[in-house]
Amino acid sequence: MSFTRRALGAGIAALAAPFVAHAQSQPWPARPLRIVVPFSPGGSTDVLARRLSERLATALGQTVLVENRPGAGGTTGADYVAKSPADGYTLLMGVTGSNAIAQSLYPNLPYDTVRSFSPVSRVVSAPLVLVANNAMPAQDMAGYIAAAKAAPNTVTHATPGNGTSMHLTGELFAQKAEVRLVHVPYRGSAQAMTDLIAGQVVSAFADILVILPQIRAGAVRPLAVSSLTRHPLLPGVPTMAESGLPGFEAFSWQGLFAPAGLPAPVMDKLYAEVARAMQAPEIQESFAAQGFIVEATPPADFAAFVASETARWGAVVRAGNVTLG
């Protein structure tokens, strides 16, 4: 290379350097963000992500897009985010199944629920409700357990699919109550509820958001909730702990994740805005009315929680020899 060409190249590089440095030093966020929802549009995770994206867009001064990447029980979308740059521009609205249960249930999971993400905040959680078809004689959880013990492998329970929190809560219940139930997985909640009401299956461990309208309409009978305390929207329904399974607790949750290695300044700003969004009265009232506990869990606490949930559900999977088949 001639001296002239080298000098020209050096001059261009010198002129470009300030602009490159400026671009790299721009405070986050300098461009639009994406929240990946690992399920199809219209479900509770999608609705939550869209409500949160609206608040974050206003607070951050950038567009926040919601991108649906469904498949494999939420693991397709989760894997996509796990392999994205840790720059704060691609986020995941993860759930119990994709970010805790999947670790033990999928033998070749392409990501690690603990090490592949920077947990930002848990945002909502909710207990499940054990409900029975109105034709089932059991009037309470004790009667349900008695029926299951009298005829092992005959009492069916519907769920929205293998690997969901509803599936594993049913397995945990069976282990604690020492009964053998028949799991009937569906591709989503709608068909599961249709068959439950029609009597094709006799029970379900259901998401409160999904089952509450059916309870209020008298289409199904609530037997117990899976939280340690009674739910404010179902004050007359006892807890499973009250009904003969001391200490029983299980709930579904949803939270915001970034790829592992998110820089601390980005994490701090992102968590602060998520916490502010979840504290907004309209968000609190809207999701509380649907049965959710609205919260904002600091990153370190959320990371510890995810690790504990991964270990806990892993133990349930191994004890019950649970598979995706």
Q: Which CATH number fits domain 126-225: 1.10.10.10, 3.40.50.300, 3.40.190.10, 3.10.20.30?
A: 3.40.190.10
Alpha helices in 61-164 (DSSP H): 75-82, 96, 102-105, 141-150
**Phi and psi at residue 132, to the nearest 5°:** -125, 150
Query: Taking phi first (over 0 means left), then psi (-120 to 50 degrees means alpha), and beta for anything else, what does residue 238 get?
Result: beta
Question: Measured between alpha carbons, how far is 50 from 44 in angstroms, rounded to an integer?
Answer: 10
> Pairing between strand 64-68 and 33-37?
parallel
Q: 30-125+251-320 has which fold? A: D-Maltodextrin-Binding Protein; domain 2 (3.40.190)
Question: Measured between alpha carbons, how far is 132 from 139 in angstroms, rounded to an integer?
Answer: 9
C-alpha closest to that of 54 among 38, 68, 33, 74: 33
Q: What is the pLDDT of residue 190?
A: 83
Domain boundaries along the sequence of the chain:
30-125+251-320, 126-225
Q: Is pLDDT above 90 for 42? A: no
Question: Measured between alpha carbons, how far is 102 from 72 in angstroms, rounded to an integer?
Answer: 10
**What is the pTM (predicted TM-score) of this model?**
0.85
Query: 252-273: b or e for each residue (b if 16 or more CB lie within 10 Å)?
Result: bbbbbbbbeebeeebbebbbeb
C-alpha closest to that of 269 among 33, 100, 17, 15: 33
| pLDDT tens sequence across 115-168 | 999 999 999 999 999 999 999 999 999 999 999 999 999 999 999 888 889 999
| pLDDT tens sequence across 169-218 | 999 999 999 999 999 998 878 889 999 999 999 999 998 888 999 999 99
Q: Is pLDDT above 90 for 98? A: yes
Q: What is the pLDDT of residue 161?
A: 83
CATH topology identical between 30-125+251-320 and 126-225: yes
C-alpha closest to that of 169 among 227, 119, 229: 227
